[in-house]
Amino acid sequence: MTKSILLSAVAALATLPLMPANAADPAAVARGKYLVTIASCHDCHTPGYFLGKPDMARFLGGSDVGFELPGLGVFHGPNLTPDKATGLGSWTDAQIVTAIQKGQRPDGRMLAPIMPWHAFANLTKQDVDAIVAYLRSVPPVANKVPGPFGPTEPPTSFVMKIVPPGAK
């Protein structure tokens, strides 16, 4: 390749719009949106959903209703938006993948058993990466969910209680 051809190629590349280093492929984001939608992630992770009035302005911003699991405590679906203080904004992509597919947070704590990570463990790498790309693309929502609360701690929000058969 001659020097003039190389300089022309460099000049042509310089006119292309620059994409941010972390810009996701639009097709991956669309695939991630599809997967998040069919997996109904918004059910447990959007405020108001369990009260019959989902707050779509805070989509995936964390639940205001917790699940009480006998002997374990009360757990709220956390904020899945890229908010750095209250959501996944400070998590790496690999940490989000680990939570989705192995049920483990970056601090080592296991997610509540209600999180269906066992099913999500079967996602392909391409699909779980698309989910991460989509979660990175939603608007950040500043919303710290309550808890988790241990079995003897009183919760500070509405609670859906799992009641075993025969219990009063």
pTM greater than the 0.75 cutoff: yes
**Is 124 in a helix, a strand, or coil?**
coil
Upstream peptide bond of 148 is cis (omega within 30 degrees of 0) = yes
Residue 114 above 70 pLDDT?
A: yes
| Cα–Cα dist 31/121, whole Å | 17
Alpha-carbon gap, residue 101 to 83, rounded angstroms: 21
pLDDT single digits (tens) 39-52: 999 999 999 999 99
Q: Judging by beta carbons within 10 Å of its beta carbon (0-12, 13-18, 19+), is residue 114 exposed, middle or buried?
A: middle
Q: pLDDT tens digit string along 51-108? A: 999 999 999 999 999 999 888 999 999 999 999 999 999 999 999 999 999 999 999 9
Q: What are phi and psi of 18, to 5 degrees?
A: -85, 135
Beta-carbon contacts of residue 43 (< 8 Å; ≥ 6 apart)? 49, 50, 77
- Give the chain's radius of gyration (CA, Å): 21
